[in-house]
Structure 1
Amino acid sequence: MVKLVLLHKAGSIYDDEPDVVYDFPQTYLKAVRAAVDDWVVYYEPVKAGPRGYFAVAKISQVIEKPGAPGRYLALIEPGTYLDFDAEVPRLVEGRPLEAALAEPDGTPKRGGAVQLAVRRLPESDFARIVSLGLPQSLEAQEAARFDPEPAMAEDAASFERPVLERLTRRPYRDVAFRRKVRDAYDFRCAMSGLRLRNGGGRPEVQAAHIRPVECQGSDAVRNGLALSGTLHWMFDRGLISVAEDNETILISHNKVPGEVVERLIQPGRKLLKPANPAHTPHPGNLRWHRENRFGQGMTDEPAPWD
């Protein structure tokens, strides 16, 4: 097994969905096959956008791309993709984070390996990049974000968790997902349009998975919606969803009283979108929710408005 850097350009002609599949030519087949069951870091070149290193994931399988001779698909293991809390630049203090991209004196190389869409990544480089994008202190940072005197987080008080343990630990991933989704929507509910805070300034909005992790959904921002507590409850139970146009809010009218709709859903019943198009909910995730959750009557729990 070997770790890799995979180049991904937003709007690419290739059928890349970073949290699902990576499309690549036969040139890189040997390298990608060697990375099966191991982790990769996604990188967006500076000329394609400002992100740099922006996410981590694990390859589960490599298959031939149907109907496309000479092209292959690296399938991403469900539940492994995670957006970085902060994008990581290629250069730090003028020096590349990838040793293979540096000259002996530490200055950046030009051409050659720099232009490869798939690059091998030593363990030390992988750990450094991931730690910059998903720091060990992330849970403590979030705990202190809206609390001037937070209790000391267990991670910060006890020991440094290895990078791979951090990437697979559900509480850490939940914090990373929540931070990215709420920030993407500027702490505003995507369905009510409200941005509420409690007396201490803590945001009321929550981060909802569109397709649940237990149903092979990912922790990508594009699989998330910022929703108020009640609307999150309604969304998870299939009482509301999003139509095929990916913006009209659907409501189960036989289960949700009209006065509740008027109070909770913004006028026009259109989904609020993130400012960054890269964070817009993926149509495939919305379709999954519409087909597998909406109108399914998943609960006998009393509704919050009863």
Structure 2
Amino acid sequence: MVKLVLLHKTDSIYEDEPDVVYDFPRTYLKAIEEGIGDWIVYYEPVKAGPRGYFAVARIAEVTPKPGVEGRYLARIAHGSFLRFDRDVPRLIDGRPLETALAGADGSPRSGGAVQLAVRRLPEADFARIVNLGLPADLEAQEASRYDRAAPDLSERVEVFDRPVLERLTRRAYRDVAFRRRVREAYGYRCAMSGLQLRNGGGRPEVQAAHIRPVAHGGSDSVRNGLALSGTLHWMFDRGLVSIAEDHQTILVSRNKVLGDVVDRLLPPDGRLLMPRDARDRPHPDNLRWHRENVFGQDLPGGAAPWG
């Protein structure tokens, strides 16, 4: 097995879904087959945008693309995709993060490996990129983010530096990374009510909801997330609200939710608030799964939060 860098462009002719599948030509088949079972880093090229290195995932299998000669699909392992907390630049202090892209003096090379859409990635380079995008102390950062009484970094107990791969697979860490990206994508506003509420210490009250739960095949992609207030998160998870086929209209299970509750919680136009970045907007497949498998189902036990 070998770790890889996979180039991804949103407007590419290749039909990539970074958290689901990577579409590629036969040219890269040997390299990607070597990466089956191992981790990859997604990279956005200069001409496509500013993100640089922006996510990690693990390849589960490779199959021919149905109906397209010479094209293949690298299937992403369920639950492995994770956006970086902060995108990692291509260069730091003028030097590439990938050893293969640097000359003897550390300066960027041109041509050759730089132009490859699939590049083998040494373990040390992988660890460095992931540590920059998903730092070991991310949970501590989030826990103290809005705590005015938190001590300076120099005074804090040193965070246990878990191995990179352990961090990428630990649910508690992934939940923090997912929550930070989803809430940021929606400007810390509830996607259904439109409210941007903060407590006395400035902590956002909005939560990050998985549209399709990870336990049911969902990913930790921002496109599988909605920023919701606590009450609407509860209602969404229990199928009392969902999103229509137009991907914008909020659906309400009217036989289970009182009209005055709807009036208090949802805007008059009943429209979903969308992230500014189109790449972060809910994926239609995830919304359809929620409509077909959660919305309008029998309500599980537990009192409604509006009492």
Counterpart residue number, 1:99 = 99
Counterpart CA distance in 2 for 1:114 and 1:76 is 24
Does structure 1 residue 62 correspond to structure 2 residue 62?
Answer: yes
- Tell me which residue corresponds to 1:300: 301
TM-score normalised by L of structure 1: 0.97
* Equivalent position amino acid for 1:22 in 2: Y
- What's the CA shift for 1:144? 1.2
Identity of aligned residues (%): 70
Return the alpha-carbon distance in structure 2 between the equivalents of residues 11 and 297 of structure 1. 41
Calculate the aligned-residue CA RMSD, in Å: 1.5
Distance 2:167 2:159 in 1: 14
Q: What residue number does 1:197 align with?
A: 198
Cα distance in 2 for partners of 1:158, 1:87 equals 22
CA contact (8 A) 2:62 2:74 kept: yes
Listed one character per residue, the Cα deviations across residues 151-176 of structure 1 (whole Å, up to 9, x for unaligned) are: 999x9645210100100011100000
* Equivalent residue number for residue 174 of structure 1: 175
Counterpart CA distance in 1 for 2:22 and 2:185 is 24
Question: Residue type of the partner of 1:138?
Answer: L
1:47 aligned counterpart, secondary structure:
helix
What does residue 37 of structure 1 align with? 37
Contact 2:7 / 2:118 at 8 angstroms: preserved in 1? Answer: yes
Deviation at 1:26, TM superposition (A): 0.5
Asked if 2 retains the 8 angstrom alpha-carbon contact of 1:140 and 1:152, the reply is no
CA contact (8 A) 2:148 2:201 kept: no
Q: Which runs of 5+ in 1 are unaligned?
A: none
- Bigger Cα displacement from structure 2, 224-233 vs 279-288: 279-288
Are 2:246 and 1:245 aligned? yes
Aligned residue for 1:86? 86
Residue of structure 1 in register with 2:146 after alignment: 146
Q: Secondary structure at the match of 1:119?
A: strand
* Corresponding position of 1:8: 8
Give CA-to-partner distance per residue, 1:178-225, whole Å, 9 cap, x none.
000001111100000000011111111000000001011100111100
122-131 or 6-15, larger mean C-alpha shift: 6-15
Q: Which runs of 5+ in 2 are unaligned?
A: none
Q: Which residue of 2 aligns with 1:229?
A: 230
What per-residue deviation string (whole Å, max 9, x for no partner) do you get for residues 234-257 of structure 1?
000111000000000000000000
> How many angstroms apart in 1 are the aligned matches of 2:76 and 2:299?
29
Question: Given that residues 83 and 221 in structure 2 are in contact (C-alpha distance below 8 angstroms), is that contact kept between their aligned partners in structure 1?
Answer: yes
Offset of residue 40 of structure 1: 0.1
Aligned counterparts of 1:250 and 1:201: Cα–Cα separation in 2? 31
The one-letter code matched in structure 1 to 2:55 is A
Are 2:187 and 1:160 equivalent residues in the alignment? Answer: no
Paired residue for 1:291? 292
For 1:140, give the aligned amino acid. A
**TM-score normalised over the length of structure 2:** 0.97
Match of 1:281 in 2: 282
